[in-house]
């Protein structure tokens, strides 16, 4: 129920933002000159075109940064999984060694008890 409410709110926000962009584009049809003089010559374009180019460049930069961060998180997670697997193998080996040591001690104690019982007869 809560997720569907959030989906409704999110949809309404995106529809509102889209309507605002369309209204901005319709009200700003005049041509402006964009100049990055030393790098690129001047370009004449509608004001809404400049807005949409800026939004596109921002989305592109966001996608690249998000991809890089997700890749780093994936690599860290894989390293943590490998470390956890190695540590669990080491714990299992230590537990097995401890079990063998306890079994050997119990066997030696039983042997000593049997030897004492035999000598006591």
Domain definitions of the chain by residue range: 23-120
pLDDT per 10-residue tile (average), the chain, 121 residues: 87 92 84 83 86 92 97 96 94 86 83 78 58
- What was the pLDDT predicted at 86? 94
On the CB side of 68, CA atoms within 13 Å amount to 5
* φ and ψ of 37, to 5 deg: -50, -55
- What was the pLDDT predicted at 21? 84
pTM over 0.75: no
């Amino acid at each position: 129920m809560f997720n569907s409410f959030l989906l409704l709110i999110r949809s309404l926000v995106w529809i509102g933002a889209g309507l605002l962009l369309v209204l901005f584009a319709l009200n700003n049809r005049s041509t402006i000159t964009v100049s990055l003089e030393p790098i690129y010559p001047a370009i004449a374009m509608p004001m809404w075109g400049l807005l949409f180019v800026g939004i596109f460049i921002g989305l592109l930069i966001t996608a690249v940064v998000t991809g890089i961060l997700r890749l780093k998180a994936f690599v860290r997670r894989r390293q943590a999984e490998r470390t956890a697997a190695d540590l669990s193998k080491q714990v299992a080996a230590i537990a097995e060694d401890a079990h063998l040591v306890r079994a050997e001690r119990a066997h030696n104690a039983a042997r000593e008890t049997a030897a004492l019982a035999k000598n006591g007869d």
